[in-house]
Amino acid sequence: MKASSAGNLLYRLNLILESALCDVYQTFQNRRIWLEMAKEDIGDQHRRTLLGPFWLLINYLLFVGVFILVFGHSVGLQFFTAYVSTGLLVWVFIAEVFNQSSTLFNRESSFIKGTPMPLATYIMRLLTQSLIRFGYASLGCILLLVLGGVELSPIALWALPGVALVVLMAPAVITVVAFVGAYFPDFQFVVRNVMRVGMFLTPIFWGYGEINGIRAQLYAFNPFTYLVEVVRNPVVYGTVPWMAFAVTTIFGLLFWILALGLLGRFRKKIAYVV
């Protein structure tokens, strides 16, 4: 009896996984659709503006520049420039992924109900938009590092696999948050408040000196800390943050397991929810 129940469970899990992977496969077969949709979204947001998408670069430079100008001299300008510019680069990407994905399926409800496109199409559309914005912000980050006279060691190249790890985790995060947001509309407000407060609870502007007390707890137990450090530490400290890589990888795997389960189980039902 127990063997039969275990067999049925494995069979159902296999069906869920096959359904999710089928949706992902079809999405990548039609990748031109979500790539063009994402580029069109970015273009529409800056239509008829003089600088177009370069406003994404300017926004990042202004945002980071204010913090460097106000607080940089109290820490060391070169160090603080690298610390804040890389920290905010990652945080802005993370915050956009969470905030935008919480209402993703509701925003795409007309397409979901009216077209037979795979559900992952909308996930990849959002990811591509976020990556385009991230690309412009990355140019701003590099520019600030150069203008700030920041000296980089060869270990700084470890920031690239750190970025790759964060980006690879993003589709799973979008999937999970989008499903929760579709079934629980209030979740979007929870996410926005968490990300708004999380910006100050995450060591983006602080943590570059000795930390103790409640800040030490926030530093150690805040998962966003490790997402930021896989990119920032090689650039700022010239060290490879193995712990941050390990924690980020574990969180990424957990999100992917949950994302594939939700996609395989509920992708055909989402049209009746949004």
Q: How confident is the model at residue 206 (pLDDT cuts 50, 70, 90)?
A: confident
pTM: 0.90
Distance CA 113, CA 271 (A): 5
Q: How confident is the model at residue 90 (pLDDT cuts 50, 70, 90)?
A: very high
The number of CA neighbours under 13 Å toward the Cβ of 93 is: 31
Q: Is 171:254 a contact under the CB 8 Å cutoff?
A: no
Distance CA 166, CA 79 (A): 23
The angle at the Cα of 90, spanning 85 to 91, to the nearest 5 degrees, equals 95
Residue 163 has pLDDT above 70, yes or no: yes
Residues 6+ apart with CB under 8 A from 133: 42, 56, 92, 93, 96
**Selection from 7-21, 70-84, 88-102 with the highest mean pLDDT:** 88-102
Least confident of 4-18, 181-195, 233-247: 4-18
CB burial of residue 114 (10 Å; 0-12, 13-18, 19+) = exposed
Q: How confident is the model at residue 180 (pLDDT cuts 50, 70, 90)?
A: very high
Specify whether the backbone of 258 is left (phi greater than 0), alpha (psi in -120 to 50) or beta: alpha
Q: Write out the two tokens for 115.
A: 């077209």
CA-only gyration radius of the chain, Å: 20
CB burial of residue 221 (10 Å; 0-12, 13-18, 19+) = exposed
Distance CA 267, CA 182 (A): 11
Distance CA 26, CA 165 (A): 24
Length in residues, the chain: 274
- Could you identify the residue written with the tokens 């712990």? 243
User: For residue 19, what pLDDT is reported?
Assistant: 84
Q: Write out the two tokens for 205.
A: 């502007």
Residues 6+ apart with CB under 8 A from 63: 88, 92
Q: How confident is the model at residue 48 (pLDDT cuts 50, 70, 90)?
A: confident
Q: Give me the mean pLDDT over the 121-147 stretch.
A: 90
| 3-state DSSP helix/strand/coil % of the chain, to nearest 5 | 80, 0, 20
Q: How confident is the model at residue 37 (pLDDT cuts 50, 70, 90)?
A: confident
Residue 72 has pLDDT above 80, yes or no: no
**DSSP state, 144?**
H
Residue 2 has pLDDT above 60, yes or no: no
Distance CA 18, CA 12 (A): 10
Query: Element (H or E) spanning 28, and its range?
Result: helix 2-29
